[in-house]
Amino acid sequence: MPASESLNTQTNDSSFDDIWEELAWRGLVAVSTDASELKGLLAGPPITFYCGFDPTAPSLHLGNLVQLLLMRRLQLAGHRPLGLLGGSTGLIGDPKPTAERTLNDAAVVAEWVGYLQHQVSKFLSFDGENAARLVNNLDWTARMSALDFLRDIGKHYRIGTMLKKDAVSARLNSDEGISYTEFSYQILQGLDFRQLYVDYGCVLQTGGSDQWGNLTSGVDLVRRAEGVGVHAIGTPLITNSDGRKFGKSEGNAVWLDPALTSPYAFYQFWLNADDADVIGRLKVFTFLSRKEIERLADAVAHEPFKRQAQRTLALEVTTVVHGREATAAAIAATGALFGQGELADLDPQTLESALRELPNTTTIPDATVMQVLVDTGLTSSLGESRRAVEQGGVYLNNIKVVDAAALVGDSMLPGGFSVLRRGKKTLAGVFVE
């Protein structure tokens, strides 16, 4: 439901000469085929372009969000998006630099395709002249025989070129090696581009720059098989300013599915963006204008403690992904839980709904705080709970828990619930019956 409600308010920034200029300013182009040709292409009559999403998990994540928003920007510029779901490529898995993937069960992949399809559809408009369209590469791959594959497609591929792709050579140089299955992935992806060119006149593919080898695979195949020059854009990998991977929070990726990453957690993720990163994030993940973003950059420079850019970022991105209502709830919860006042002074109703946004559990007054920490997922074992308490990192209703044997019933708020906190900002709700 959410997302799509934002579609009507999204626009590109008209202060740019053309969409290419805007994409460049937003830092969305890390690599591409001939830049001046692309610029001309995107400034001209509507083209059809595509971006693929492989079902390697039950939900899309932040890396995919970059692609989805790029697609939307291109659509707003008048171009026609094809959202490709990797029903077949997801069965194979693209080579990760470090390790071979474990193959997922076909039924599971098919199920995930359904989830992703639903998610992708929320970010694109399916109305009007340049309505988006979803396709599944299983539709044309499944019926292709091994012989057709080798004769019609394989003949266009040179092993030398394939070996030189970063994703492949990295693995060949590691002691992990690479299976024939994953080695072949680039051909499957190339096949997609060709098929979409033939069926829809698709002339541009976008993807992460780590997929550059796979993007060019398609460009090469279309040139060889169809004699046509098509294009590819690789977006930069989003990393934190200190080079660490982005979108990993407590060891888990930030998902777009609210069941996997709650809107509250999602909102918090953006709110916690580093000063050094926040402006870049605004450019990539919001539809705010250059003028507005420059104003926020100024705010970061002169009054960083107000964290205006972070607040705006969190508001904008959460709204785009989860909708206004969920965002409002996340902000309300944030206000209640991180506000200055006493928890006991808060309206129990407000507080309770805030706690519902958090990981929470229902228990009895005699339960130990240590056990509840585990139940809410704040810690993963009693030992870790014990350590957290010993280190002075556990708070029940903002009162530091000093006794490892403390019970939930020792401190309760009016209304029969408690705010359990680990560290400075990891919170959970405890409902006592």
Partner RNA sequence: GGCAAGUUACCCAAGUGGCCAAAGGGAUCUGACUGUAAAUCAGCCGUCUACGACUUCGUGAGUUCGAAUCUCGCACUUGCCA
Q: How far is the CB of 162 from RNA (least distance, A)?
A: 15
Minimum distance, C-beta of residue 390 to RNA, in the bound complex (Å): 8
Is 72 near RNA (CB under 7 A)? no
If binding is defined by CB under 7 A, does position 398 make contact with RNA?
no
Is residue 178 a contact point for RNA (CB under 7 A)? yes
Tell me how many residues contact RNA (CB under 7 A): 42
Nearer to RNA, 4 or 181 (CB): 181
> Contacting RNA (CB under 7 A), which of 386, 399, 410, 411?
386
Quick one: 233 or 315, whose CB is closer to RNA?
315
Least distance from RNA to the Cβ atom of residue 28, Å: 23
Q: Which residues contact 242 (CB under 8 A, 6 or more apart)?
A: 274
Residue 134: closest CA among 42, 68, 188, 212: 68
Under rule CB under 7 A, residue 424 binds RNA: yes
- Give yes or no for residue 217 binding RNA (CB under 7 A): no
* Residues in contact with RNA, shown as a per-residue x/- string from 224 to 243 under the rule CB under 7 A: ------------------x-
Indicate whether 334 belongs to the interface with RNA (CB under 7 A). Answer: yes
Q: In the bound complex, what is the minimum distance in angstroms from residue 398's beta carbon to RNA?
A: 12
| Residue 363 in the binding site for RNA (CB under 7 A) | no
Residue 64 near RNA by CB under 7 A: no
**Of 142 and 402, which has the nearer Cβ to RNA?**
402
Provide the minimum distance between the beta carbon of 251 and RNA in the complex, in angstroms, as a whole number: 5
The minimum distance between CB 96 and RNA, in angstroms, equals 12
With CB under 7 A as the contact rule, the residue among 78, 236, 393, 415 that binds RNA is: 393
Burial zone of 162 (CB within 10 Å; 0-12 exposed, 13-18 middle, 19+ buried): middle
Q: Within 13 Å, how many C-alpha atoms sit on residue 395's CB side?
A: 14
3-state SS of the chain is CCHHHHHHHCCCCCCCCCHHHHHHHCCCCCEECCHHHHHHHHHCCCCEEEEEECCCCCCCEHHHHHHHHHHHHHHHCCCEEEEEECCCHHHHCCCCCCCCCCCCCHHHHHHHHHHHHHHHHCCCCCCCCCCCEEEECHHHHCCCCHHHHHHHHHHHCCHHHHHHCHHHHHHHCCCCCCCHHHHCHHHHHHHHHHHHHHHHCEEEEEEEHHHHHHHHHHHHHHHHHHCCCCEEEEECCCECCCCCECCEECCEECECCCCCCCHHHHHHHHHCCCHHHHHHHHHHHCCCCHHHHHHHHHHHHHCHHHCHHHHHHHHHHHHHHHHHHHHHHHHHHHHHHHCCCCHHHCCHHHHHHHHHHCCEEEECCCCEHHHHHHHCCCCCCHHHHHHHHHCCCEEECCEECCCCCCEHHHCCECCCEEEEEECCCEEEEEEEC
102 to 161, contacts with RNA by CB under 7 A? none
Q: Which one of residues 129, 175, 345, 366 is an interface residue with RNA (CB under 7 A)?
A: 175
Say whether residue 380 binds RNA (CB under 7 A): yes
| Binding-site member from 199, 274, 325, 347 for RNA (CB under 7 A) | 274
Q: Among 11, 15, 239, 272, which residue interacts with RNA (rule: CB under 7 A)?
A: 272
Shortest distance, CB of residue 225 to RNA, whole angstroms? 30
Taking the C-alpha atoms of residue 161 and residue 144, their distance in angstroms, rounded to an integer, is 24
Which of 191, 271, 329, 419 forms a contact with RNA (CB under 7 A)? 271
Rounded to an integer, what distance in angstroms lies between the CA atom of residue 310 and that of residue 321? 16
Q: To the nearest whole angstrom, how small is the minimum distance from the Cβ of residue 100 to RNA?
A: 7
Instruction: Assess 382 for contact with RNA (CB under 7 A).
Output: yes
For residue 282, the minimal CB distance to RNA (Å) is 14
Q: Which stretch binds RNA (CB under 7 A): 144-152, 197-205, 253-261, 302-310?
A: 302-310
Residues 235 and 262: beta-carbon distance below 8 Å: no
Evaluate whether 365 touches 412 at the Cβ level (below 8 Å). Answer: yes
Closer CB to RNA, 164 or 425, in the complex? 425
Residue among 381, 402, 403, 414 that touches RNA (CB under 7 A): 381
Contacting RNA (CB under 7 A), which of 143, 244, 291, 302? 244
Q: Does 422 bind RNA (CB under 7 A)?
A: yes
> Could you list the residues that contact RNA (CB under 7 A)?
98, 172, 175-179, 242, 244, 249-251, 268, 271-276, 304-305, 307, 310, 334, 338, 374, 380-384, 386-388, 391-393, 422-426
